Structure 1
């Protein structure tokens, strides 16, 4: 894991510890905030999810409010659902087919 990855993991652990220390209400609030942030990210960065979530309210409180998606649907629309426009299905396929790339970052992807 890179230095940046370790730092991100430490931040997540500190965040989880803080929420846990605050009790169930704090943990539930943090879960809602993270879910809302993930949905906002997907809506902003992914044409597929922007379309899929178009009828949903701005704030999502429960993951069960999100439409279910499947692997076949997502793989068929890979270039539209991926949230980094620099990443394409062809690029990912070539990357994953090369055993020499195991443990490396995808070239050109936003870290």
Structure 2
């Protein structure tokens, strides 16, 4: 039985996945700046709600990509140190951006909650 060492492909895929995750996270934040509903206003338009929900789902996807980039970087660090370190760094930055985006989404979505007193 032979034990295989991590290949350089893991390091390269970590760098690529991390870079794509960072670009997607920054793009999502730029889109969020244009779409986000203002706090305290009336309920936002249906288009703004749909776009906000799509951005919330996108941040979850970016978070998964960032975790995979860090994981691949850690696993591929023995084969190719440079790309593995870059991928893990990109993944960590993307994870921070995605977590901040997810928190912003949750705060915005809870602002949409309208409590109407029951009528008898």
Identify whether the pair has TM-score above 0.5, normalized to the shorter chain. Answer: no
Judging by fraction of residues, say which structure has more helix: 2
Bigger Rg, structure 1 or 2: 2
The higher relative CO (CA closer than 8 Å, separation ≥ 6) is in: 2
